[in-house]
A and B are shown apart, each in its own frame.
Chain A
Amino acid sequence: MSTPDLSLMERLRQVLRLSSRGKGVAASVVETFRESGRRGEMEMVRGILLGHPVGEAMRSLESDRKGGDTYTRDLMLYVVEQAKVDAAEASKRADKLTTLFEHWIWMKRQRAMEQKVMETRSIIVSAILGGVTAMVSSLAPVLSTFQLSLSETQPYAPASAYSPYWGILFVLPAASFLGLFFSARRAYLNVLAAGLAYLVVTYFFGPLVLTI
Chain B
Amino acid sequence: MPSRTRAWDALGLDRRRMVLIVATVSIAPAAAVLVVTVPFIGQAAAVLGLVVGAAAAYTAAAFPKRALERSALLQAREAPTLAASGAVYLQGTGSKSKTVLMLHSDEPLLSSQLDDMKRQTLLGIDASGSLKSSVDRVQSESALRILHSIVRAQGERLQDEGEELESAIRSSVSGEETKFPVFMTIAFFLPIMLMIFAAMEHHADPVAIVSLAFLEIVVLDLALSISSTERRRLSA
Contact = CB atoms under 8 A, between A and B. Distances in A.
Contact of B200 (A89, A97, A125, A146): A146
Interface string B213-236: 100110011011001100100100
B202 A136 contact: no
Interface in A67-121: 70, 74-75, 77-78, 81-82, 85-86, 89-90, 93-94, 96-97, 100-101, 103-104, 107, 111, 118
A202 to B, nearest CB: 12
B77 interface: yes
Given A104-B162, A137-B195, A167-B191, A78 B85 contact: yes
A175 B220 CA distance: 10
Contact of A174 (B91, B188, B203): B188
B187 A150 contact: no
Chain B residues touching A, majority SS: helix
Contacts of A94: 84
Contacts of B42: 150-151
A122 B187 CA distance: 10
A89 B44 contact: no
Contacts of B213: 169-170, 173
A103 B77 CA distance: 13
Contacts of A93: 84, 87-88
A29 B71 CA distance: 33
B14 interface: no
Interface stretch (B20-28, B116-124, B204-212): B204-212
B203 A85 contact: no
A85 B89 contact: yes
Interface in A136-181: 136-137, 139-141, 143-144, 146, 148-151, 154-157, 161-163, 166-167, 169-171, 173-175, 177-178, 180-181
Contacts of A90: 84, 88
Contacts of B217: 173
A97 B203 CA distance: 63
A67 B26 CA distance: 38
A162 B228 CA distance: 36
Contacts of B194: 170
B1 interface: no
Contacts of B216: 170, 173-174
A14 interface: no
A149 B201 contact: yes
Given A170-B194, A174-B191, A100 B80 contact: yes
B164 interface: no
A132 interface: yes
A97 B162 CA distance: 10
A28 interface: no
A19 interface: no
A81 B85 contact: yes
A58 interface: no
B44 A97 contact: no
B149 to A, nearest CB: 14
Nearest to A143: B199
Contact of A85 (B92, B195, B220, B221): B92
B198 A166 contact: yes
Name, among B91, B205, B210, B221, the residue most crowded by chain A CB atoms within 10 Å (CB to CB): B91
A208 B195 CA distance: 19
A170 B212 contact: yes
Contacts of B77: 70
B173 to A, nearest CB: 8
8 contacts: A81-B104, A132-B192, A154-B201, A157-B203, A170-B190, A178-B184, A178-B187, A181-B231
Interface of A: 70, 74-75, 77-78, 81-82, 85-86, 89-90, 93-94, 96-97, 100-101, 103-104, 107, 111, 118, 122, 125, 128-129, 132-133, 136-137, 139-141, 143-144, 146, 148-151, 154-157, 161-163, 166-167, 169-171, 173-175, 177-178, 180-181
> Ordered nearest first, which 7 A-B pairs have the shortest CB separation?
A170-B191, A85-B92, A86-B92, A140-B199, A161-B204, A143-B199, A93-B84
